[in-house]
Structure 1
């Protein structure tokens, strides 16, 4: 079954429900303001899209693409329908929208003393089960060290920096380092 894709805008019928999924899926300190996501989604390189199974809003993704690199910043599935395959179907849909692209996502590190280690390990396993592999790199985003995973290619530091430089008009240069360094 194919998921229907809709662009999320300030006028979207499901805007409030999308916001609820967002706020329930990410800690406040990890979120950017929802209104800012709506504004930035108007940029040519940014996509804020929701996924629907018939009339059911399943989840959303907020991502950016520059050349052949797509970076997923936020992806969430409605907590009431998790573990039903929607997350995998959303990742498949993203891949079909950006067929030849490397797709990158950053996740919280799976450090043993993390309070939510089981959730972090489940998330990492979910991405691994969907073809994402470890890059051996960490990035600092939102003042948190996150592990970088990739699908469809090898991770390239220079390409990643160039992505952020172009996406942010030169205002962002996240810290990047190899795990174990």
Structure 2
């Protein structure tokens, strides 16, 4: 069973989160982590740990993190990663479940890189695995594709679909007070 804690500038596990963030996402898909920690945008930035039970429980094991933004009835999972050696063990599904439990009435959206734009077989395989993971966890196709920082993305949704207009309006609202911010 997983437990999670808010990630802040003072979190003792921030170095682990930062390391995973920087290794899991290519430079063109990241924003500076200080922006993820800034409170100009209300985000849920959570670190997940395996909960150990009993007297002889060791220190909880860091498993991954999520970073999401909710506005209205849309929750966008912006960043989400599981520690590489713990992948394919159900931790990712548990993290998604925790987000869904916190937002039972939200349409949850995630974006994935478009498979057709893969540059090689290895990248295509990675993108297909990511899409299949989300599909196994109840996410389905949506009509929304967009380009951000040079990468082509497709939205997947759970709990209801999101239109292109709703998605763009979501980001316009989230970024309205951030000078120079670019939205999809």
Q: TM above 0.5, one fold?
A: yes
For residue 159 of structure 1, give the secondary structure of its aligned residue in structure 2: helix
Q: 1:112 Cα shift?
A: 6.7
- The match for 1:139 is 146
1:53 aligns with 2:50: yes
1:90-114 Cα offsets, whole Å, 9 max, x none, are 0000000111100011100111753
SS at 1:89 equivalent:
helix
Indicate the structure (1 or 2) with the bigger Cα radius of gyration: 2
Instruction: Give the root-mean-square deviation of aligned CA atoms.
Output: 1.5
Dislocated runs of 4+, deviation >6 Å: none
* Residue among 75, 78, 84 paired with 2:80: 75
Q: Does structure 1 residue 163 correspond to structure 2 residue 170?
A: yes
Does 164-173 or 95-104 show the bigger shift?
A: 164-173
Partner of 2:99: 94
Matches of 2:183 and 2:3 in 1, distance apart? 35
Unaligned runs of 5+ in 2: 52-59
Q: Number of residue pairs matched?
A: 171
What's the CA shift for 1:156?
1.9
Kindly state the Cα deviation for residue 34 of structure 1 after the two structures are TM-superposed: 1.3
Q: Kindly indicate whether residue 128 of structure 2 is the aligned counterpart of residue 129 of structure 1.
A: no
- Once the two structures are overlaid, the 10-residue window that deviates more, 162-171 or 94-103, is 162-171
The residue that corresponds to 2:55 in the other structure is none
The alpha-carbon distance between structure 1 residues 4 and 111, as it changes in their structure 2 partners (threshold 3 A), is same
1:114 aligns with 2:119: yes
CA contact (8 A) 2:28 2:150 kept: no
| 1:77–1:87 Cα contact (<8 Å) kept | yes
TM-score by length of 1: 0.89
Does structure 2 retain, via aligned residues, the 8 Å contact 1:45–1:66? no
Contact 1:61 1:75 in 2 (8 A): yes
Aligned to 2:134, the other structure's residue is in SS state helix
Instruction: State the alpha-carbon separation in 1 of the partners of residues 4 and 118 from structure 2.
Output: 38
